[in-house]
Amino acid sequence: MEKLKKRWEIQKNWQLLFPVLGIMLTVLAAFLIVRNSPKWFGVENSGYEWVILIAFCTMISFGLVRFFLWCFKKLENRWKVTYKWEMIAIFIVFAITGSLSGKLAGPLVELLGLGREMTHPVLYWTARIVLILPIYKIILVIVGWLFGQFRFFWEFEKKMLRRMGLGFLLP
């Protein structure tokens, strides 16, 4: 445990929440990727179903953790964070925000009367993608604040708006 705390620069026990949550979400993502794998091999509803699920989930989880550690190494100097555990929190915020904004855009498009059954698919998907951007920007700052990373995400938002030519929206 001390090795983990030292590696991620964790000073207080509550900060262990981020590595634990990161591992749990990585395993969940791996499971969502491989949940249909027994069908690929024709072994659903058999004794081998769980063996295949667990084996594939373990392999995908390991691969994802290796990928995320590689990303941490690449972004460590680019992102100005005080402690390494904050990078885990930032990755979790990006994951939650991306998923949540995608999920919220669908009902919002329906509410605007541009539902999938009522409009051409090109118009529907264009409207949905256009709506994701402002939803994402709002949720990113809110979820970032909930995870204690408001300053990082506020600066990230300002930088993104300036690059998009929307810097005039900033105070």
Q: Over the stretch 1-43, which tens digit does the pLDDT of each residue have?
A: 788 888 888 888 888 888 889 999 999 999 988 887 777 777 7
Is the model more confident about 142 or about 3? Answer: 142
Q: Over the stretch 47-94, which tens digit does the pLDDT of each residue have?
A: 778 888 889 899 999 999 999 989 888 888 888 888 888 888 999 999
Please, are residues 64 and 28 in contact by the beta-carbon 8 Å criterion? no
Q: Look up residue 146 and give its amino acid.
A: L
Q: State the pLDDT at residue 94.
A: 92
Please, are residues 28 and 60 in contact by the beta-carbon 8 Å criterion? no
Q: State the pLDDT at residue 63.
A: 95
- Average pLDDT on 156-165 reads 84
Q: State the pLDDT at residue 121.
A: 87
Q: How far apart are CA 50 and CA 46, in angstroms?
A: 8
SS3 147: coil
Write down the pTM of the prediction. Answer: 0.77
Q: State the pLDDT at residue 82.
A: 83
- Torsion angle of alpha carbons 132, 74, 158, 106, nearest 10°? 10
Q: State the pLDDT at residue 150.
A: 92
Q: Over the stretch 98-119, which tens digit does the pLDDT of each residue have?
A: 989 988 988 888 888 888 888 8
Q: How far apart are CA 104 and CA 23, in angstroms?
A: 25
- Torsion angle of alpha carbons 86, 89, 95, 96, nearest 10°? -140
Residue 159 reports pLDDT greater than 90: no
Find tokens 């051409």 and name the residue: 120
Q: State the pLDDT at residue 112.
A: 86
Q: Look up residue 111 and give its amino acid.
A: L
Q: How far apart are CA 72 and CA 19, in angstroms?
A: 13
